[in-house]
Structure formats: structure tokens, C-alpha cells
């Protein structure tokens, strides 16, 4: 998407054919910085410390990590080691494991001498595929927004609430939850987005708000606890969020706080949609609550917040007493029964085993 007048993806291969450049998301919205990453350790750090984040982008970054490893050492042992090294960086987003499995499946049968070139080719394809998937999600989600708009008075915006950042910064381009929003704006449908700040790391306040502003999408930042109140007063027409892992029966794991939004939406009859590309479906898991590993991140992320000081410096401040302990589960699981629909690249599925199997019969069959 655009940054100023220039089109950017979140990650791209450099002319040296080895290193990647990434948008370093730690500094947004206050500074737009690009980092070059040219080692496996650098890739692991970028994922773990959230220079890049968002399930699809984590997967693509890991794919380039495997390619870098193959350029250094294309042996079977190195291929296995890089799988483990990158897999442990962030446990919840299934796209990470999907990308590592996909790279391994493709590279294993090749002679070591062929692996580096093939790995870079496949990593680039996965990046391009992500863009295509998101575009299709956008088209399928656009139909839902269009239907809601048709029931409104002319000129009245469709009010969409989103949580965290499932925008272009979380993917290679377009985003998942935001793709239908961008297409609605392009189609001239009036929309307005309520952006949850998304404590503790504030991906909504810092990233989604920046994206919306950059593309002229009318939006309003709200604190995480405001959504239920707004829904009770008829101010939200629909919720669209992303997901880090959706199970074969439609349970949705996403940024902490998503579940509370789904509960409030169900209580108020507000449709709750989840936008996801198929690599985010974990066909091996049935019960999201019991089986999805939930990342517990450092307690500092709760006790300290990043922001811009009056002097224009990007700095961290403490919001709690020095000695107060904090706990930081990064994701939660929204049961399928609270999800109105799953917006995928193939259409909108019911959040159920049958609904997903109908859209992806070959994947369901392969998992059995």
C-alpha cells in the first residue's frame, strides 16, 4: 500500500539476492524505518521482537529465513535446525509453521546445490500468493459491506469496528480485515472504522490508525473497553478482525481482547466477521481453547508503553507501580458459535467444520 506517494510491501528481497528489507514496525506511527536483515539470527529477532508481526507476514519472513539458511548451508541438518529455530520465535500464528513446513516439503527432495535458489523462488511466491489471497478476501468481504450499505440512508457510512492490526502491515500487502475496507473506499462506499487501541502493544492505535490515515479512510480511535458501549448504542454495523489461527471447526484465535468484542457483538446482534487466508486454518486442531498454544509475552509490555514525547522523541514510560507484577497473554480464542462468518479467499464460510470443509474440501481431506 502507499506510504506517501510510494507503494510499499512490508518485506522485499534486495538486489543482492540474499538479504531482505522490512518495514520496522516498532517505530510506527512516529517514524518510518526500513531495516535490512541478512542473517538467520536477524530474521529470528525480527519475528520474536515484532519488528515484523501479523500472522501472514511472520510466515513470509520465516520463508525468507529458510532461504537465507539454505544460502549459508543447504544440508538436511541445517534445514531441520532452521525449522526449529524459527518455529520457536512465536508460537501462536499458524502461518509460521505453515511456511516452514511448506519450505521443508519443497526443499527436502532437492539436491543441496539446488536448494538456495529454489528456496528464494518459493519465498517470493509465498509473498506474492499472500497478496493475491488478500485481494480475494477483500472482494468477498466487500460484498458484505455493500449489503450493509444498501440498508443505510444514502451517504451514511457503514461503521466497522476492528481490533489489533490485520492490515497491510500484518501481511505482505492489503491486509486481511482491512482488504474489504480498502476496496469499499475504492468503490465509493462510505465507511468509517472504529479502531481499538489494542493494549498492551497498541497495534490498533499505532499501526491500524496509521494505515487508515495513510489511505484516507475515515476512522476513530477508541479504547479497548469502548466497543461494547458503542455496540449497545447502534454505532457499530459490523466487526471485522483477523486471526492468527483458526481451527478446523471455526474457533478463532486472535489478539487478546477479540473474544470480548465477539461477546459484545453477539449480545447486541452485531455481525462478527473474521478475515483469513487459508494458510491460517489449522486443520489439525479441533478445539481452539484446549489445543492452541497462547503466547505469553514479557510483562514489560503491560507495564510500559511506547509513545512520542512532547520533544518529539520516541520513548517508553511506565504506567504501573515499579513493583506491580503483570501478566501478558497475547491472544485469546473466540468460539465458533460467536462468529458470523469467515471471509476467505474462496468465499465466506460458516464458522463450522462443515462450513470450512465445503470451501476447502481438498485441504480437509488431506488433513484426515
Ligand X SMILES: CSC[C@@H](O)[C@@H](O)C(=O)COP(=O)(O)O
Q: Which residues are annotated as a binding site for substrate?
A: 53-55, 90, 203, 254-255
Nearer to ligand X, 115 or 261 (CB): 261
> Where are the alpha helices (H) located in the chain, listed in sequence order?
40-48, 55-72, 76-87, 94-107, 112-150, 179-186, 203, 209-214, 227-232, 258-267, 288-291, 300-303, 353-359, 361-367
DSSP assignments along 260-290, one per residue: HHHHHHHHTT--EEEE--GGGEETT-S-HHH
44 CB contacts (<8 Å, ≥6 apart)?
65, 85, 86, 89
Considering the candidates 244, 251, 282, 332, report the single residue annotated as catalytic: 244
Identify which of residues 159 and 176 has a Cβ nearer to ligand X in the complex.
176
Q: Which residue is nearest to ligand X (CB)?
A: 242
Q: Which CB sits closer to ligand X, 9 or 53?
A: 53
Q: In angstroms, rounded to a whole number, what is the distance separating the alpha carbons of residues 256 and 198?
A: 8
**Beta carbon of residue 255, minimum distance to ligand X (angstroms, whole number):** 3
Q: Which residues bind ligand X (CB under 6 A)?
A: 53-56, 93, 164, 166, 170-171, 176, 203, 242-244, 254-255, 330
Q: Which is nearer to ligand X, 119 or 236 (by Cβ)?
A: 236
Contacting residues for 114 by C-beta, under 8 A, at least 6 apart: none
Closest CA to 140 of 345, 349, 357: 345
Give yes or no: 16 in active site.
no
Comparison of 197 and 244: residue with beta carbon closer to ligand X: 244
Shortest separation between residue 289's beta carbon and ligand X, angstroms: 17
Q: How many other CB atoms are found less than 10 A from the CB of residue 188?
A: 7
Q: How far is residue 202 from each of residues 108, 251, 268, 368, measured CA to CA in Å?
A: 40, 24, 25, 39
Compute the least distance from the CB of residue 277 to ligand X, in Å: 8
Please give the annotated binding residues, written as ranges.
53-55, 90, 203, 254-255
CA distance 41 to 44: 5
Rounded to an integer, what distance in angstroms lies between the CA atom of residue 185 and that of residue 207? Answer: 19
Do residues 69 and 96 make contact, with C-beta atoms less than 8 angstroms apart?
no
Report whether the peptide linkage leading into residue 200 is cis, meaning its omega lies within 30 degrees of zero: yes
End-to-end CA distance of the chain: 38
In angstroms, what is the minimal distance from the CB of 15 to ligand X? Answer: 28
* DSSP at 222: E
Smallest distance, ligand X to C-beta of residue 90, A: 7
Closer residue to ligand X, CB minimum distance, 249 or 254: 254
* Rounded least distance, CB 109 to ligand X, Å: 31
Give the catalytic positions in this structure.
244
Amino acid at each position: 500500500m502507499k506510504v506517501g506517494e510510494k507503494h510499499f510491501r512490508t518485506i522485499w528481497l534486495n538486489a543482492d539476492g540474499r538479504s531482505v528489507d522490512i518495514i520496522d514496525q516498532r517505530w510506527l506511527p512516529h517514524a518510518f524505518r526500513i531495516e535490512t536483515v541478512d542473517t538467520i539470527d536477524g530474521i529470528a529477532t525480527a519475528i520474536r521482537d515484532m519488528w515484523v508481526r501479523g500472522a501472514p507476514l511472520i510466515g513470509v519472513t520465516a520463508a525468507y529465513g529458510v532461504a537465507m539458511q539454505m544460502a549459508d548451508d543447504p544440508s538436511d541438518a541445517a534445514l531441520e535446525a532452521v525449522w526449529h529455530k524459527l518455529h520457536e520465535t512465536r508460537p501462536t500464528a499458524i502461518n509460521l509453521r505453515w511456511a516452514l513446513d511448506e519450505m521443508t516439503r519443497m526443499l527436502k527432495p532437492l539436491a543441496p546445490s539446488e536448494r538456495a535458489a529454489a528456496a528464494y523462488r518459493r519465498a517470493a511466491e509465498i509473498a506474492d500468493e499472500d497478496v493475491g489471497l488478500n485481494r480475494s478476501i477483500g472482494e468477498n468481504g466487500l460484498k458484505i459491506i455493500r449489503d450493509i450499505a444498501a440498508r443505510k440512508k444514502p451517504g451514511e457510512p457503514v461503521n466497522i469496528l476492528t481490533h489489533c492490526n490485520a492490515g497491510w502491515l500484518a501481511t505482505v500487502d492489503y491486509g486481511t480485515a482491512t482488504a474489504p475496507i480498502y476496496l469499499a473506499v475504492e468503490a465509493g462506499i462510505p465507511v468509517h472504522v472504529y479502531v481499538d487501541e489494542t493494549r498492551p502493544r497498541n497495534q490498533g492505535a499505532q499501526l491500524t490508525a496509521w494505515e487508515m490515515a495513510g489511505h484516507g479512510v475515515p476512522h476513530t480511535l477508541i479504547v479497548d473497553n469502548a466497543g461494547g458501549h458503542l455496540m449497545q448504542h447502534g454505532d457499530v454495523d459490523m466487526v471485522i478482525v483477523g486471526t492468527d489461527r483458526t481451527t478446523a471447526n471455526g474457533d478463532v484465535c486472535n489478539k487478546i481482547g477479540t473474544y470480548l468484542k465477539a461477546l459484545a457483538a453477539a449480545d447486541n446482534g452485531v455481525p462478527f466477521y473474521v478475515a483469513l487466508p487459508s494458510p491460517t486454518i489449522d486443520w489439525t486442531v479441533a478445539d481452539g481453547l484446549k489445543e492452541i498454544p497462547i503466547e505469553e509475552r514479557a510483562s514489560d509490555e503491560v507495564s510500559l508503553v511506547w509513545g512520542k514525547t512532547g520533544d518529539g522523541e520516541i520513548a517508553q514510560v511506565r504506567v504501573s507501580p515499579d513493583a506491580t507484577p503483570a501478566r501478558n497473554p497475547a491472544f485469546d480464542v473466540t468460539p465458533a458459535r460467536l462468529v458470523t462468518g469467515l471471509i476467505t479467499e474462496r468465499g465466506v464460510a460458516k464458522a463450522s467444520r462443515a462450513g470450512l470443509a465445503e470451501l476447502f474440501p481438498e485441504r480437509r481431506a488431506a488433513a484426515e
